[in-house]
Amino acid sequence: MSDSHAEAVSRYLEWAKLHSPARYNLAVSGVLDCPLAELPVRIEDLELAGTGPYGYAPLLERLASKSGVPVENVVHTLGTSMANYIALTALVHRGDEVLVEQPTYDPLLAILHHIGATVRRFERRSDKGFNVGLGELERRITPQTRLVVLCNLHNPSSAFTDEETLRHAGEMAAKVGARILVDEVYLEAVFDQPWRSAFHLGPHFVVTSSLTKAYGLSGIRCGWVIAEPQLVRRMWQIVDFTYGSNVHPAEQIAVIALNHLDHLRRRAQRLLGTNRALVNQFLADQPGLDCPPSRFGTTIFPRLRMGRAIEFVELLREQFDTSVVPGEFFEQPQHFRVGLSGATDTVRGGLERISAALERFKQISGASSLAR
Ligand SMILES: Cc1ncc(COP(=O)(O)O)c(C=O)c1O
């Protein structure tokens, strides 16, 4: 294996798949899986074959109307994962300079390394709530920048980037002839204010998303890219490298899900509303953690004020059977990510265990600093 291939690994996804499960698994970031029985899916309405050459027309139409764009702007993909892969391989060539937020979702970096891009970073600072700083972005964009990459909502912090900020970011990118890719997989987990896809801010915006995170529908892998038609044609060519025809029953179930999106949205809003109240009460009671109250999305990303966060995460895992994502996967070793989108009993139980583990950790850390 060459060095560049050795780098192109998502250590986070490997960890999430192999090591994250626990009795209280708060390492997840998607709304609790929606049972199939909650959708009006009848086996006699499903067929194994019947997709179109470039997407299933009823699905493409629904994705287009959901995003308020013509069908020519839509590529259907297997989740946001494939959407990001397709979008980045269409937009970036070996050696291109790409400016990526830090911290970020690490498969985005892995794909860029795989392509052979020159990756530069702009910082989203912990002490600024991980908000996008336009000054920082302006300092980091260069005439060589071909693409700016960010997530809205932000993973891991769930910070929301408003339209004004995105518009300015887009203008900075456009000035040097760069595009801007916004991964919006968590955007629909915003309930208390209106939101709109960044695609509407200009032709240089490309967005990716799916029904996975906000609707609990990871299993049907319904993702999409919204981009200019000329890019969409290139992206369908890249889809050709990966499969000839899509999983048709999944496309049909996605159509049914999109026909019942209001129901799925209310389900998600109820669950997240209940769990967010628990998380905010927990945060209010935890002086040992530095984290603003949760308002959006499915995760929080607290900073541990005392001791090493990785040791705390290990203690939590080993002695309390509770799993959170170590901040090292987001290049923030003093933080850890807590998911609030699981079953309420799991979230409640997990938070109680984090509280107990923090108490234990304080005693151990206090004892070891006294011993030094
Ligand atoms: C920012 C971001 N993009 C994409 C994905 C993958 O989404 P999907 O399940 O739709 O493939 C994730 C999953 O954690 C994510 O956090």
pLDDT exceeds cutoff 90 at 7: no
Q: How many helices (H) and strands (E) does the chain have?
A: 13, 14
Testing ligand 1's pocket by substitution, the residue of 155, 157, 220 carrying the most ligand atoms inside 8 A of its CB is 155
Testing ligand 1's pocket by substitution, the residue of 185, 206, 221, 329 carrying the most ligand atoms inside 8 A of its CB is 185
pLDDT band at 372 (very low <50, low <70, confident <90, very high): low
pLDDT tens digits, 62-101: 999 999 999 999 999 999 999 999 999 999 999 999 999 9
pLDDT exceeds cutoff 50 at 3: no
pLDDT exceeds cutoff 60 at 106: yes
E runs forming strands in the chain: 24-25, 74-78, 97-102, 118-123, 145-151, 179-183, 205-210, 222-226, 289-290, 299-300, 303-304, 322-323, 325-326, 336-339
Distance 12 CA to ligand 1 centre (A): 12
The answer to whether the CB of 291 falls within 8 A of the CB of 303 is yes
Cβ-based neighbour number of residue 346 at 10 Å:
20
Distance 364 CA to ligand 1 centre (A): 36
pLDDT band at 133 (very low <50, low <70, confident <90, very high): very high
User: Which residue's CA is the nearest one to ligand 1's atom 7?
Assistant: 80
Cβ-based neighbour number of residue 310 at 10 Å:
15
Q: Where does residue 128 fall: left (phi above 0), alpha (psi -120 to 50 degrees), or beta otherwise?
A: alpha
Cβ-based neighbour number of residue 284 at 10 Å:
9
Query: What is the mean pLDDT of the segment spanning 38-45?
Result: 96
Which pLDDT does position 2 carry in this prediction? Answer: 40
Distance 366 CA to ligand 1 centre (A): 38
Distance 9 CA to ligand 1 centre (A): 16
pLDDT tens digits, 165-205: 999 999 999 999 999 999 999 999 999 888 899 999 999 99
How far is Cα 65 from Cα 223, in angstroms, rounded to an integer? 15
CB-side exposure of 310: number of CA atoms within 13 Å?
Answer: 7
Which pLDDT does position 362 carry in this prediction? Answer: 92
The DSSP bridge partners found for residue 138 are none
How far is Cα 89 from Cα 84, in angstroms, rounded to an integer? 8
pLDDT exceeds cutoff 80 at 43: yes
Angle at 29 between CA 26 and CA 35, to 5 degrees: 95
Amino acid at 253: I
Which pLDDT does position 5 carry in this prediction? Answer: 47
Query: What is the mean pLDDT of the segment spanning 148-166?
Result: 98
Distance 32 CA to ligand 1 centre (A): 14
pLDDT exceeds cutoff 50 at 4: no
What secondary structure does DSSP assign to 101-150, as a single string?
Answer: EES--HHHHHHHHHHT-EEEEEE--GGGTTPPPHHHHHHH--TTEEEEEE
Residue with the bigger pLDDT between 290 and 195: it is: 290
Q: What share of the chain has pLDDT > 70, as a percent?
A: 97
Distance 156 CA to ligand 1 centre (A): 11
pLDDT band at 20 (very low <50, low <70, confident <90, very high): confident
The structure tokens listed for 194 are 């209106």
pLDDT tens digits, 334-362: 999 999 999 999 999 999 999 999 999 99
Distance 300 CA to ligand 1 centre (A): 16
Q: Which atom of ligand 1 is nearest to the CA of 81?
A: 11
Which pLDDT does position 365 carry in this prediction? Answer: 81
How far is Cα 343 from Cα 214, in angstroms, rounded to an integer? 14
Distance 183 CA to ligand 1 centre (A): 8
Q: Across all residues in the chain, what is the average pLDDT?
A: 95
Ligand 1 is surrounded, with C-beta below 6 A, by: 29, 79-81, 105, 151, 155, 183, 185, 210, 212, 218, 223
Hey, CA dihedral for 179, 180, 181, 185, is it positive or negative?
negative
The answer to whether the CB of 228 falls within 8 A of the CB of 70 is no
pLDDT exceeds cutoff 50 at 12: yes
Testing ligand 1's pocket by substitution, the residue of 212, 296, 298 carrying the most ligand atoms inside 8 A of its CB is 212
pLDDT exceeds cutoff 70 at 231: yes
- For 258, residues 6+ apart whose C-beta sits below 8 A from its C-beta are 59, 62, 63, 66, 211
